Structure 1
Amino acid sequence: MHKPTFRNWSLIALAAGLALPLLAAEQADIGTADKSTLEKAYPSKPNYSPYAGRTFPTQPLFGDTHLHTSFSMDAGAFGARLAPKDAYRFARGEEIASNSGQPVKLSRPLDFLVVADHSDGMGFFPQLMGGDPDLLATPQGRKWYDQIKGGQGADAAMDIIASFSGNKMPKGFPTPGTTSYRNAWQQTIKAAETYNEPGRFTAFIGYEWTAGGSSNLHRNVVFRGNGAQAGLVEPFTTLPPLGSPNPTDLWKWMAATEQKTGSEVLAIAHNGNLSNGIMFPVVEAFGKRLDRDYVQTRARWEPLYEVTQTKGTGEAHPFLSPNDEFANFELWDKGNLDGTATKTKDMLEFEYARAALKNGLVLEAKLGTNPYKFGMIGSSDAHTGLAAMEEDNFFGKTAPQEPSPERMTKAFVDNPKTGVKIMDWEVSASGFAAVWATENTREAIFDAMKRRETYATTGPRMIVRFFGGWDYAAADANNRMPAAIGYAKGVPMGGDLSNAPQGKSPTFLVAALKDAIGANLDRIQIVKGWVGPDGKTQERVYDVAVSGGRKIDADGRCKTPVGNTVDVENATWMNSIGAPELITVWKDPQFDAKQRAFYYARVIEIPTPRWTAYDAKRFAIKPLPGTAMVLQERAYTAPIWYTP
């Protein structure tokens, strides 16, 4: 059953460009009056106000947990000149000059940001370009300095990445304990402290642990606490002897850091599509078989996964999900991080979120803990200091990819030895993290991340609710306050169901509202994964709410496309198809109470112009054959898990 609804007041607000929430009433400010005091004052009367005493999260906050500035050695070599303070200013809504000197501003400020510069070599670029004598005395340092000064920053950047991956960095390279490294970390902390404004904007302290060499195993580490706490430690690096490329050593550092600083920390696994099959192991990792300690420790420290970013989307892959027509979306499946190794199909299962979620169920049955019980978020991984991920306002992944006619035709990765080639036009304008938090503070957002009450978007700020329980009824989709019902009868995204009542199947309340200044919605889907009686994993995608009066067949699929209003030549579209809002209650028709399972919602927009269409229009250029010009943006919620 699906129920697309729309009110005239919604139309007026949307036309005015207001950020209308899913059920605007649910996002009013929470009062501060003491509940017990009110109960004493009115002991015999129920509350007239439906908002009195409400404690659940009432608004999604949108942000980026993975942004690089000039303090990252590769970003600086590519041409980034913006520092952490500039990144926070931009995310807060200020207009600034980009690395290429172009004025840039977000359509709307973000709610939070993590400047996550690379742990290894933090501050290397400012040190190099400042003429550090130790670096310039080395052949590599002098070469890179001259290349960058001579306008060959991209060549220098790739050489720096290769040298780092091979542990062949020059003398003077900043490492923990050196003055230059300490200064860079302190400046990073200072920027976050300066621009953190509880209630308005959250500036987290964090960094990216840059492990895996050319096969990406990166993690973004986020501190819950303040600068005084974070300043008691320095980031954990990956190059020996001070660091390690093994995630288990990062987790040990995190445990020690919590003890030393008093601040909680968490790690977010980087989009695994460039890991070449090692992000989600199922047998062994770093030569050691997976055991109870591994799965428990990974689950403890990594509650979230970055499912979409500029280097592609890693939710699903057509090879792994041949019956999912929406799986072929913004894929980077040609090779590893620098193209030195090609991709083979046997690697894909251990790189994509849906496969990891399924394999996690199997590991839980064997070892007692699901190491891949993660919520999903999106973030940018931009190396520009600019979290500009809107299709019509995309400022690229690296400084050379800031808006220009050339970025439509140049190659981002081109390795003649392996044949791996990725064009600049294949870079995605994605994504953002959405978090259901009780307030805009470090503590509230961190806690929401830890409990996995999150979802990923590929750029739009659509609002999505997803609840699971045993007693949702069709009438619940008619209520204008679904969250009140959702929390009262079940658990939100990221939650757990267990021990099914006799004769009952899980029910799900799911609702989505379009981005206030974005496109209408095509459909809501629920993706189910489970372990069959033979011990093998299975999956199925259900269309649960569709727009335009289309029919959902008995097999749970809508075969009729929503349509396409995109005018590619003029980079425009019309919201004459789709629905501004979709809400429904869905019951699993094939539930087996003995089988472990997960469910997550995927919300699909109607087709809209991709950033390449905007560039072709604005620069009056003809795109290369095969350039993608249209896409259907989407959101992915954290799953809800069922355990027998």
Structure 2
Amino acid sequence: MGVCTGLDAAYEWSAANAAGEDPIDSPEMQRRVWDRVIDNAERYNQPGVFTAFIGYEWTSGPGSNNLHRNVIFRDNADRTRQVVPFSAFDSDDPEDLWRYLADYEVRTGGRALAIPHNGNLSNGMMSMLETFDGEPFDAEYATARAGYEPLLEVTQSKGTGEAHPLLSPDDAFADFEIMDASNLIGTVPKTPEMLKTEYAREALKLGMAEEVRLGVNPFKFGMVGSTDNHNAIPSTREENWFGKIYYVEPSDHRKDGIFIESAVDPRFSIYDRDLGASGLAAVWATENTREAIWDAMKRREVYATSGTRLRVRVFAGWDFAESEVQLPDFAAEGYARGVPMGGDLRPGPEGASPRFMVRALRDPEGANLDRVQIIKGWVDGNGDLQERIYEVACADREIVDNACAGDVGSTVDIATATYTNDIGRGVLSGWWEDPDFDPSLRASYYVRVIQIPSPRWTAYDAPYFGVKMPEGTAITVRDRAFTSPIWYTP
């Protein structure tokens, strides 16, 4: 059984973190390390060629519940050297982090944002409907959160946090790389009531409900993926996945190794085989520079993938014609007469319904596409949260009652860890008009693109190392992308 020998230290560090005790407590060391981070980012940043941001991870984990945020600065060394990172030893309250970011912007004239990640291991804390101190939200809190946290990580190696089968029982694709036994280090078991404030789809709906109450949506976020790897080999290829950390790198014992061993109950441990080769953040930026990419993240024109490099664009407007989705300049028309992912669709002409144009292109070295879906969430007239999935493009079959007629099938050969692209399509496009639109109700719409089945990294490990995966191990994967939503507000 492959167990990290450094886990005892990790538990001690977590306990110190929760108590607000820094085991090192050296401002001089903090400054030296931060200067080194800045120097490395400046050394490798090549505008127009390769962008390296200056940033760090704020690792709040109260009670071992994951509230981590990645802090990304828009700025260069001249501004970021004026501060040192605000750490979880300073405070594990997100509001204090936002105050630090506000102070940074006032002090330096710079810009910064924070990206929460791994809400699925927060035991309900990531999108809870109260402050860290247990007080009800107010408009000031909602404004700060929406302003400094315009993005949310919805997929990474420690699980995907887009949707959950218990929250979305009618979603056949909600059970994807789910990790929901406990919190980050397996100390407190997960309960069903925790789920609704951990997963992105539910948070999007809760945010609109809070907007009805407060006038501000605290959960108005775009969606990104990240590897969150700790071994400097951030591959997301299933056939070449080097794991999250050095002791999860390819080996014949990865099939039953333990990534994080629970000190409470082995059922709460995270096994190597539970980890996924995810994910990636895709950004529609005007150029490859810090400023342009940061600006695109701030306006939420981003999408997440579970590791695949497929491309997807979506625009919403009021007068798009069905034929326009095939235009060579479809994006130009989308920007001119509508809004992209992450945008706000303002009220349209009386009697009109929102129209969406979507185009998706497969990863050139990956699996074909199976389907394109639009996932709508809304707050109904009684204040209840609703959702519905509409399929707007299907490979090689028709759409009947907003759903693909049948499944795409599979070409995966488990024994050899191979597949073919004999099924599915390399490109899928769709035009869709909301048939259930009510102009008096808030709604959000995001696109999910799903690929055909392909071998998971566990399938590649088995023949390569000559091992048999434990019963119940996922062997195939249907990689996917999730776009940032487009919101409609009356």
Q: Calculate the TM-score normalised by the size of structure 1.
A: 0.74
Residues 238-291 of structure 1 deviation map (CA, whole Å, 9 limit, x = unaligned): 22xxx1111111111001111222221011111200110111122443222110
Q: Determine helix, strand or coil for the equivalent of 1:641.
A: strand
CA distance in 2, matches of 1:252, 1:284: 14
Change (3 A) 1:559 1:317: farther
Shift of 1:220: 0.7
Equivalent AA in structure 1 for residue 86 of structure 2: F
Equivalent pair of 2:17/2:60 in contact (CA under 8 Å): no
Other-structure match for 1:611: 457
Shift of 1:477: 2.2
Equivalent pair of 2:317/2:337 in contact (CA under 8 Å): yes
Shift of 1:408: 1.2
Equivalent AA in structure 1 for residue 441 of structure 2: Q
CA distance in 1, matches of 2:404, 2:218: 34
Other-structure match for 2:9: 156
2:312 is equivalent to residue 464 of structure 1:
yes
Shift of 1:168: 5.2
Shift of 1:237: 1.2
CA distance in 2, matches of 1:416, 1:449: 38
Q: Determine helix, strand or coil for the equivalent of 1:538.
A: strand
Equivalent pair of 2:157/2:227 in contact (CA under 8 Å): yes
Corresponding residue to 1:429 among 265, 277, 283: 277
CA distance in 1, matches of 2:148, 2:345: 22
Q: Determine helix, strand or coil for the equivalent of 1:491.
A: strand
Equivalent AA in structure 1 for residue 81 of structure 2: G
Other-structure match for 2:467: 621
2:76 is equivalent to residue 218 of structure 1:
no
Equivalent AA in structure 1 for residue 45 of structure 2: N
Other-structure match for 1:534: 382
Corresponding residue to 1:233 among 83, 87, 93: 83
Counterpart mapping for 1:194-209 below 5 A:
194-209=43-58
Other-structure match for 1:249: 96
Counterpart mapping for 1:94-173 below 5 A:
152-167=5-20, 170=23, 173=24
CA distance in 2, matches of 1:270, 1:152: 25
Shift of 1:155: 3.8
Shift of 1:521: 0.1
CA distance in 2, matches of 1:569, 1:585: 39
Counterpart mapping for 1:499-578 below 5 A:
499-548=347-396, 550-554=397-401, 556-578=402-424
Equivalent AA in structure 2 for residue 531 of structure 1: V
CA distance in 2, matches of 1:609, 1:616: 11
Q: Determine helix, strand or coil for the equivalent of 1:325.
A: coil
Other-structure match for 1:596: 442
CA distance in 1, matches of 2:463, 2:195: 36
Residues 505-546 of structure 1 deviation map (CA, whole Å, 9 limit, x = unaligned): 000000000011111000000000001111101000011000
Shift of 1:434: 0.2
Q: Determine helix, strand or coil for the equivalent of 2:383.
A: coil
Q: Percent identity?
A: 53
Equivalent AA in structure 2 for residue 456 of structure 1: A
CA distance in 1, matches of 2:5, 2:174: 37
Equivalent pair of 2:305/2:482 in contact (CA under 8 Å): yes
Q: Determine helix, strand or coil for the equivalent of 2:287.
A: coil
Other-structure match for 2:168: 321
Equivalent pair of 2:20/2:91 in contact (CA under 8 Å): no
Residues 620-640 of structure 1 deviation map (CA, whole Å, 9 limit, x = unaligned): 111111111101000000000
Corresponding residue to 2:328 among 480, 492, 496: 480
Shift of 1:611: 0.7
Equivalent AA in structure 1 for residue 414 of structure 2: V
CA distance in 2, matches of 1:581, 1:508: 17
Q: Determine helix, strand or coil for the equivalent of 1:350.
A: coil
Shift of 1:389: 1.6
Other-structure match for 1:330: 177
Equivalent AA in structure 2 for residue 354 of structure 1: R
Other-structure match for 1:74: none
Equivalent AA in structure 1 for residue 28 of structure 2: T
Q: Determine helix, strand or coil for the equivalent of 2:269.
A: strand
Equivalent pair of 2:7/2:260 in contact (CA under 8 Å): no
Shift of 1:296: 0.7
2:41 is equivalent to residue 192 of structure 1:
yes
Change (3 A) 1:181 1:283: closer
Equivalent AA in structure 2 for residue 581 of structure 1: V
Equivalent AA in structure 1 for residue 319 of structure 2: D
Other-structure match for 1:368: 215
Equivalent AA in structure 1 for residue 404 of structure 2: C
Equivalent AA in structure 1 for residue 392 of structure 2: V
Shift of 1:152: 3.0
CA distance in 2, matches of 1:297, 1:417: 37
Q: Determine helix, strand or coil for the equivalent of 2:168.
A: coil
Shift of 1:167: 4.2
Counterpart mapping for 1:285-296 below 5 A:
285-296=132-143
Equivalent AA in structure 2 for residue 331 of structure 1: I
Please, which runs of 5 or more residues in structure 1 have no aligned partner?
A: 1-77, 80-150
Q: Give the paired residue count.
A: 487
Q: Over aligned residues, Cα RMSD in angstroms?
A: 1.5
Change (3 A) 1:258 1:543: same
2:449 is equivalent to residue 582 of structure 1:
no
CA distance in 1, matches of 2:106, 2:263: 48
Residues 22-51 of structure 1 deviation map (CA, whole Å, 9 limit, x = unaligned): xxxxxxxxxxxxxxxxxxxxxxxxxxxxxx
Q: Determine helix, strand or coil for the equivalent of 1:406.
A: coil
Corresponding residue to 1:414 among 256, 261, 267: 261
**Highest Rg: 1 or 2?**
1
Other-structure match for 1:351: 198
CA distance in 2, matches of 1:480, 1:521: 20
Shift of 1:559: 4.2
CA distance in 1, matches of 2:143, 2:343: 18
CA distance in 2, matches of 1:455, 1:527: 14
Shift of 1:414: 2.9
Equivalent AA in structure 1 for residue 30 of structure 2: Y
Equivalent AA in structure 2 for residue 227 of structure 1: A
Residues 581-626 of structure 1 deviation map (CA, whole Å, 9 limit, x = unaligned): 0111100010000000000000000001101111112111111111
Equivalent AA in structure 2 for residue 585 of structure 1: W
Q: Determine helix, strand or coil for the equivalent of 1:545.
A: strand
Q: Determine helix, strand or coil for the equivalent of 2:82.
A: coil
CA distance in 1, matches of 2:98, 2:394: 43
Equivalent pair of 2:371/2:450 in contact (CA under 8 Å): yes
Equivalent AA in structure 1 for residue 159 of structure 2: G
CA distance in 1, matches of 2:131, 2:52: 37
Counterpart mapping for 1:37-52 below 5 A:
none
CA distance in 2, matches of 1:282, 1:293: 14
Residues 45-100 of structure 1 deviation map (CA, whole Å, 9 limit, x = unaligned): xxxxxxxxxxxxxxxxxxxxxxxxxxxxxxxxx99xxxxxxxxxxxxxxxxxxxxx
Equivalent AA in structure 2 for residue 433 of structure 1: A
Equivalent AA in structure 2 for residue 535 of structure 1: G
Q: Calculate the TM-score normalised by the size of structure 2.
A: 0.97
CA distance in 2, matches of 1:471, 1:349: 35
Other-structure match for 1:263: 110
Equivalent pair of 2:375/2:448 in contact (CA under 8 Å): yes
Equivalent AA in structure 2 for residue 350 of structure 1: T
Corresponding residue to 2:149 among 288, 302, 305: 302
